Amino acid sequence: MDPASTTRVYDRAGFGRPVERGSRPAVVVVDFSYGFTDPQYPTGADMSGPVLATARLLEAARAGGVPVVFTTIAYDAGQLRSLAWLKKATGMAALELGSRLVDVDERLAPRTDEHLVVKTGASAFFGTALASYLASVRADTVIVTGATTSGCVRATVVDAVQYGYPTLVPRDCVADRALAPHEASLFDINEKYGDVVDLDDVLAYLQALPATAGAAQSVPAAVQRPGSPAPEHQSTIPSQAEAPA
C-alpha cells in the first residue's frame, strides 16, 4: 500500500487527530545517554543532530520555567543476570550502573535541579515515579524527545497518553539506529498516541505560554518530597515484554 493510501485508511478509521495542548508542559528527554548517542559503543549511533536540536528545546524550556526530566537505562549486577529483556536484547547489558554509557550526554547540559529517572524498561513510566513527579509539578502536557524512536521513545509516548497527558514529539529531537523503524514509529505515534511536529512548532508553543505557566515554578525539580520515593535506581518489577530500545 502506498503512503497516500495508508493515510486515507487511518483517516477513515478516525486516527491522526491533533492533541489538545495544555498550558503547563513538561519535557521528558528519553535515554540521550552516551550508550545511545556515542557511536563508539555497539548500542550507540551518531545522534548529534537530534541531541543538538534537543539542546535548543531545553534552552527554551528552561527559560520559561518548564520542568525538564531526563531518563537513563542502567542495570546493577543482579539485574544483568536475571532480566528477561536482557536475554532478548543482550547488547543492553552494557548499560551498567556507574559506567559512562548511562551518563546523560553533556551536550544537553543536565542541571542538578532537573529530575533524573533511572529505569530498567523501555517506558520512562514503567516501574518509576515519573507519573507522580509530573503530577507534583502539575504538568498537563508532555513533550518527549530522545532515543530510540522505535523503542523507549515510543513506549514512553504510549504510556504518557495512557496516563492522560497530551503528548508532543518534535521529530527533529528523536533518533534511532536505523531509518525504517524511526519513520514507521513516527507514523504510528502521530496516528494513535501524540502529535509528531517540527521543533519550531514546539518552540513557538513554549514561547507563547503565559509567563507563569511553567509547571516547575511551584515545586523545584529533583527535590525529594516528604513521603515520596527516593530517586529511582531500578524497577522492582522487571518487565517481561517491553520492546527493545
Helix, strand, coil percentages, rounded to 5, for the chain: 40, 15, 45
**Catalytic residue of the set 57, 108, 134, 152:** 152
Q: Name the residue with higher pLDDT: 233 or 170.
A: 170
Single pTM value for the model? 0.84
State the pLDDT at residue 2: 81
Higher pLDDT, 170 or 211: 170
pLDDT at 236: 33
Share above pLDDT 70 across residues of the chain, in percent, rounded to a whole number: 86
16-50 pLDDT tens trace? 899 999 999 999 999 999 999 999 999 999 999 99
At residue 234, the pLDDT reads 38
Written as nine digits, the cell of 137 is 509539578
Question: Helix crossing, 199-207 with 48-63: angle to 10°?
Answer: 10
When pLDDT is averaged across residues 62-84 and rounded to a whole number, the result is 95
Which helix (DSSP H) or strand (DSSP E) does residue 143 occupy? strand 141-147
What is the distance between the alpha carbons of residues 99 and 27, in angstroms, rounded to a whole number?
Answer: 25
Q: What is the structure's pLDDT at 213?
A: 62
What does the pLDDT look like over 168-194, one tens digit per residue?
A: 999 999 999 999 999 999 999 999 999
173 catalytic, yes or no? no
User: Is the pLDDT assigned to residue 229 strictly greater than 70?
Assistant: no
Architecture of domain 30-216: 3-Layer(aba) Sandwich (3.40)
Q: Please tell me whether residue 28 adopts helix, strand or coil conformation.
A: strand
**Confidence grade of residue 215 (pLDDT, cut at 50, 70, 90):** low
Instruction: State yes or no: pLDDT of 230 exceeds 50.
Output: no
Domain borders along the chain are 30-216
